[in-house]
Amino acid sequence: MSNATRITEKGQATIPKELREKYDLSPGDEVIWKDTDDGIVVKKRTRTGGRGMLVPEEATDAEREDVAAELEERLRGRRDRNYEDV
């Protein structure tokens, strides 16, 4: 499917109706604009119970695991310091 729309003077573009319906896009929904080697990719932003707040949605599994490991290490360090104070 290929549709063309024009950019307004304010930098706005209309998402074609068939794509809004297909991807369940409604007024107020957010989309993510990502610059790739192939051009611009537009994706509907989804929120899943707070997930993705620490890493970007486009992060790889390895990057997510690195963040999780770092957070686990920080928590372990805090617990250890708290036990030393007791």
Phi first, then psi: what are they for 12, rounded to 5°? -95, 150
CATH number of 1-46: 2.10.260.10
Please write the tens of the pLDDT for every residue from 12-58: 999 999 999 998 899 989 999 999 999 999 988 876 555 556 777 77
Comparing 17 with 2, the larger pLDDT belongs to: 17
Give the dihedral sign, CA 18/20/26/27: negative
Q: Is the pTM of this model over 0.85?
A: no
Give residue limits of the domains in the chain.
1-46, 54-86
Residue 71 Rama label (left phi>0; alpha psi -120 to 50; beta): alpha
Can you give the pLDDT at residue 78? 78
Residue 68 in this model has a pLDDT that exceeds 60? yes
Residue 44 CA, distance from chain mean position? 9
Can you give the pLDDT at residue 14? 93
